[in-house]
Structure 1
């Protein structure tokens, strides 16, 4: 029985360890390679090899480099004017099957681009089981060595696909493989009307590189992270959230009418709620926009709001961006009306805002951290007063890594390591670094000088870098004496190096009047954010970005002692940086308000089943221990 108790305790312990926030759709994007197999693909690729042989090798390299969970499909077109076949449906990646099907392709006949594009639009998978579909990227990657030869209008088809309802998220990127000027002009228009980019490949090696990069870009799309939840139009019946990460859809922005979504949470005496919202959008080339979201904390059963903000960002032409916002509120911190002073059940409201009202919903990521009251504030170190000098960072040998287009699921970087990624204008990437109390993040970004080919691709546009550090609840916490353009350097003829740092994470930093110090007042995953953009429509060029991270300070220094009677856990535990404490009768979560509301299980939360199981295990373990003691006493007698 004692062995049984230990075995069950092991199972219970595994349940009680908080799981990190999961992506609502674990694979960010879907890519369909639409490959030209017309008769002209028999011709030379410029190196003595046929174009179709070069394409076979290029696709082989793409699937070899793709992650195991990538969703990549293959459709070919060529022969008669209605000859197009789905060779590999979009689904779990089977590298051997892709290579086998590609090896069997034989060039012949005409080039029905328009017809193939229309068929390709139906090849994408809908989200299984419904739920939040989000801003998932669907990329048609068209490879052609010539123009349409069947009388169709592929430019009009591309524009139609971009306009159509759910296909609004379908982008058409185009690679012209040794094309002449007439074909290039048509293919560029297909990419432009399809919301994508055009790039040339003059030989097989260039085709392999361009194809791999375009595929990576398609797979890097926004992947919302969190537990799906459905907010309500008003506070009545709003879902009750425990600390964690959530995903929902906001109704379309109708201009003057901005319908919102509401969520409830319980705030114990003296506790502080941190609420963050992130909204992602992408824009086709030639259509920059401003996107945003309104975020408010509403008081229990009273009009008005306790805290409110509007998160906005400029969405670059042809690129992706996040609007991020954060509000926080402490029970008992005081308010003009007194409605926000008491502990109780508070509400979150989020609404959709943009300068271009849209007919489709907008996906948001919502995070909630509820920090219990600290009982030893006066004994904690005072807030930082300035960043101070940052010791130089020496890069090491870089390791290739793919940053995420999503805030919540970026790769976790290790202290002292150097990484490299490749970005194109209009892209941004996120990388996570865990920081605990007393730790400070410093980082360095290195970019090479622009080549003659880069400057030609820019066509007179100025290439810029934006980079910063974002705290767990969203705000920028990059320290130092920064001018408005200090974190937006222009890239040019010389290599560029940018360095930045936070102050050490400390509880009393929240008392500071300086934003970058005040917001470094809670441990968790800090995001290093890097974005490339231009002052004109985004051209295609690949820019290697090298990133070195250095975590300094003593982990755990200055950690507060929390008074946590409701068993919320510390901010580190709520974010998955440390296991939640084993629940006890006094630490079993209970709502502050008496009105019962069914709550979804949040990421990192403790489900009721786990609490019940832990209680049963405790009783079983106690019984087993008592039995063992009795047996030993009998043997001793």
Structure 2
């Protein structure tokens, strides 16, 4: 395997939940960015609140007061808690026309506040004017909300209703049409004290809108449901890269230079379930590596069960059809892994100037999912035979140190935004549907081990975990995103997933990192063939959760072994011919454009660990970073770093 280079009850509780919902549902679409919006991964998206103003909202709420009173109190605080840059609007339906027999009843929906970030006073005034009155034209209101949000970029709709739709069009069909705008569109629905007929209709809206439905009976349950909607969208996994569109026909495949890309791959047995991309070799004798990453079903559509499976197949071949390598990881469940990654190198085709990468959904989900692609080109090594041999025999478990916590840490939302940490112990929390990622530097000759410990829960948390059997997962991926969890003698019994109703621990380790591990049989061993940033990904999947809960954990990380000399790469024939372009790379502060004042010589020192090499030629950009004596991944700038 070759290393890649890429470019957080009562009315008070209800208030808190709604504040969180409006504040953090905004990035939801960004977390599922479609190619149309991937060029601006920092776009926080737009949110439209769609509120039921039908006459039934004047009815008593099970927890006391009326439904409309609870909503007003909460919404005022929503506005108070909005981030300064939050793009939010508000739409109501059933507010003007009293009866379905009256003209205009089924088109009775008004955008009472335009989407914007400078509209707080308008939102407060609209809340004061919010009153129960007429019918329930949900389908029409959804159509108008979709138009309000526009046709591109991350978009979210939050629908709160207490009744069955009373007007055409069918809101379930409308939700399906809206969701066809891409995976960056989401409709979440809460049904308040509704009968079975209404619940069925509202659930269909959420299902077809790639969202989540919550059926609640009183203000307390409404609070919990909205809180869950909020926390699930706090830190969604965020696919990143330059937008690209793969083709069904390999002869018309787009050409990818080394870099990071984002696309969308269709469901199984669909015309977009197989996509092709062309990869050009710019360095003679180099090693080309391609990685394809998809989100598992639960993390694409939270209405999906956490035990739903998915699978992809990645093949590399020459333009004339000669096979250069394939990777088809076993089908994986969302509870076991947030992402599924296939990684292939083209060492079997060292002389091919162009390669064709073919990505296919071969199992599981029948709906689209974001697809990340990473292309890397690694220079040849001068004398690989003189390097230490790959791992032989069993791997010994080297437990992370048990020292005091180094502090509180929150992981990043994706590979590209992983939080960098050093060996040590860290405290954190995680909520249902959340993904957290951490980067750890591992040098040549070193081994990474990590554990995630969930304490014995008590009180409400114990009830939640006991009821749902919430699966916690942890994985370790090499800089090329390949699964690097190797079986180690003496390691914790759980290396991927635990259900800690009474507390528990999951632990995993890599093999010692050696260049010639790539010659071995067994993907986890081959994955430990590159030094650099290894990513620890932890997650909590609970598709049955109707209430929000926060779980504390302790993450312990250890890196053992002495650093050995790095491989010597053959760079003699490569000279930069021009200032590299970032046209094919994902937007990043760490891209060559961000380093325009740096020298473009063939090599320079980087923290004393090795040269940084910029290679450009044949119109294709090659950025190779040699750190700890090896190539490193060039990450996106991390928000809040």
Structure 1 residues 440 and 58: alpha-carbon distance in aligned structure 2, compared to 1, 3 A threshold: farther
Q: Would you say 1:432 and 2:438 are equivalent positions?
A: yes
Aligned 8 A contact 1:244 1:367 in 2: yes
- 1:141 pairs, out of 143, 155, 158, with 158
Whole-Å Cα distance in 2 between the matches of residues 501 and 97 of structure 1?
53
Deviation at 1:468, TM superposition (A): 1.1
Whole-Å separation in 2 of the counterparts to 1:484 and 1:152: 57
Shift of 1:179: 5.9
1:421 Cα shift?
A: 4.3
Q: Distance in 1 between matches of 2:198 and 2:241?
A: 45
Q: By how many angstroms is 1:253 displaced? A: 5.9
* 2:567 paired with 1:521: no
User: 1:244–1:604: 8 Å Cα contact kept in structure 2?
Assistant: no
Q: What is the rounded CA distance, in whole Å, between the counterparts of 1:378 and 1:117 in structure 2? A: 64
C-alpha contact (below 8 Å) 2:266/2:369 kept by paired residues: yes
2:494 and 2:506 in contact (8 A); partners too: no
Alignment correspondent of 1:295 = 314
Larger Rg: 1
- The equivalent residue for 1:612 is none
- The answer as to 2:323 corresponding to 1:305 is yes
- Counterpart in 2 of 1:274? 289
With over 3 angstroms needed to count, the CA separation of the structure-2 counterparts of 1:528 and 1:472, relative to structure 1, is same
* C-alpha distance in structure 1 between counterparts of 2:404 and 2:119, whole Å: 35
After TM superposition, the score normalised by the length of structure 2 is 0.69
Distance 2:522 2:564 in 1: 22
Tell me the secondary structure at the aligned position of residue 522 of structure 1. coil
User: 1:455: how far off?
Assistant: 8.5
**For 1:27-42, what aligned pairs fall within 5 Å after superposition?**
27=43, 30-38=46-54
Number of the residue aligned with 1:390: 399
Q: Deviations over 1:53-85 (max 9, x none)?
A: 543554466566666665544323342344433
Q: Distance in 2 between matches of 1:294 and 1:502?
A: 24
| 2:113–2:123 contact (8 Å) kept in structure 1 | no
- Give, in whole Å, the separation in 2 of the partners of 1:257 and 1:44: 49
Give matches, 1:457-536, under 5 Å.
462-481=469-488, 486-491=494-499, 493-533=501-541
Question: Are 1:295 and 1:348, in contact at CA under 8 Å, matched by a contact in 2?
Answer: no
- In the TM superposition, what whole-angstrom CA distance separates every residue of 1:149-185 from its partner, at most 9, and x where no partner exists? x73379x412542266625745432334466788666
Correspondence list, 1:576-587, <5 A:
582-584=599-601
Deviations 1:16-41 (A, max 9, x none): xx995x95341476543323344565
Partner of 2:102: none
Q: Does 1:347 align with 2:347?
A: no
Name the CA distance, whole Å, in 2 between partners of 1:313 and 1:73. Answer: 41
TM superposition score normalised by structure 1 = 0.69
Number of the residue aligned with 1:326: 343
Q: Which residue of 2 aligns with 1:96?
A: 120
Indicate if the aligned counterparts of 2:496 and 2:506 stay in contact, CA closer than 8 A: no
Confirm or deny that 1:367 pairs with 2:374.
yes
- The range that moved more, 176-185 or 116-125, is 176-185
Give the Å deviation of 1:244.
Answer: 1.6
Query: Aligned pair 1:120/2:126, yes or no?
Result: no
| Cα distance in 2 for residues equivalent to 1:63 and 1:384 | 58
**C-alpha separation between the residues in 1 aligned to 2:252 and 2:134?**
60
| Structure 1 pair 414–106 and aligned structure 2 pair: CA distance change class (3 A) | farther
Contact 1:507 1:558 in 2 (8 A): no
The answer for unaligned runs of 5 or more in structure 1 is 1-17, 129-135, 606-637
- CA–CA distance in 1 between the matches of 2:119 and 2:74? 13
Task: State the SS of the aligned residue for 1:374.
Answer: coil
- For 1:218 and 1:298, locate their aligned partners in 2 and report how far apart those are by CA, in whole Å: 39
| Structure 1 CA distance for aligned equivalents of residues 476 and 379 of structure 2 | 25
Number of equivalences = 549
- Where structure 2 has 5 or more consecutive residues not aligned to the other structure, the ranges are 8-36, 98-104, 604-612, 626-641
Q: Does the CA contact (< 8 Å) of 2:400 and 2:556 recur in 1?
A: no
